[in-house]
Amino acid sequence: MKRIAIYPGTFDPVTYGHIDLIKRGASLFDRFIIAVAHSYDKKPLFSVEERVEMLKTVTGTMSGVEVDDFGGLLVNYVKGQGARVIVRGLRVISDFEFEFQMALTNRNLVPDIETVFMMTNESYSYFSSRIIKETVKLGAEVDKFVPPQVMEKLKEKLR
């Protein structure tokens, strides 16, 4: 039986922190599905199609990694993919409280789905997609935080 994990998120935009978790997660599972949430409430900068395309571009050579999108309940998507594991990244302590609540809610909804928390590499722990967008909007280069293709897309949208 294949070990399948879902790594859900908005990925608006994908960062090196995300890529770090994708590489590490993909080494632990046979299929590692990056599930791009439609996230209408968050009002993402990039459309779901643009976020999926950016992720496919930066993960194209990674073995066992797939990119998909979903709307609705995450646990329904996870079950539909035949997975039992949700992978969530943690950067700082404040991430844990929200992620813990979501993990318990998901477990309550579907008890046989497990949430696995992975700590990001410390060199990526202090920035987020939101901070990156704000920084680019103010004219800064953020190529230390995002791949070149993503930087170009950010410039197109924000400048």
Predicted model pTM:
0.94
Q: How high is the pLDDT of residue 61? A: 95
Q: How many CB atoms lie within 10 A of CB 149?
A: 14
Q: How high is the pLDDT of residue 122? A: 87
Does residue 94 have an active-site annotation?
Answer: no
Q: How far is CA 112 from the centre of its chain?
A: 22
- Amino acid letter, 148: P
Q: Does domain 4-122 have CATH number 3.60.20.10?
A: no
Does residue 79 have an active-site annotation?
Answer: no
Query: Per-residue confidence of the chain (159 residues) as pLDDT tens digits?
Result: 799 999 999 999 999 999 999 999 999 999 999 999 998 787 899 999 999 999 999 999 999 999 999 999 999 999 999 999 999 999 888 788 999 999 999 999 999 999 999 998 888 888 889 999 999 999 888 889 999 999 999 999 987
How far is 6 from 110, CA to CA, in rounded Å?
Answer: 15
How far is 50 from 107, CA to CA, in rounded Å?
Answer: 31
Does residue 2 have an active-site annotation?
Answer: no
Cβ neighbours for 137, distance < 8 A, ≥ 6 positions apart = 158, 159
Q: Among residues 18, 51, 88, 133, which one is catalytic? A: 18
Q: Which residues pair with 7 in a beta bridge?
A: 34
Domains of the chain by residue range: 4-122
How far is 17 from 126, CA to CA, in rounded Å?
Answer: 10
Q: Which residues pair with 114 in a beta bridge?
A: 85
Q: Among residues 23, 56, 107, 129, which one is catalytic? A: 129
Does residue 18 have an active-site annotation?
Answer: yes
Q: How high is the pLDDT of residue 99? A: 93
Q: Among residues 23, 63, 79, 91, which one is catalytic? A: 91
Q: Among residues 3, 42, 130, 137, which one is catalytic? A: 42
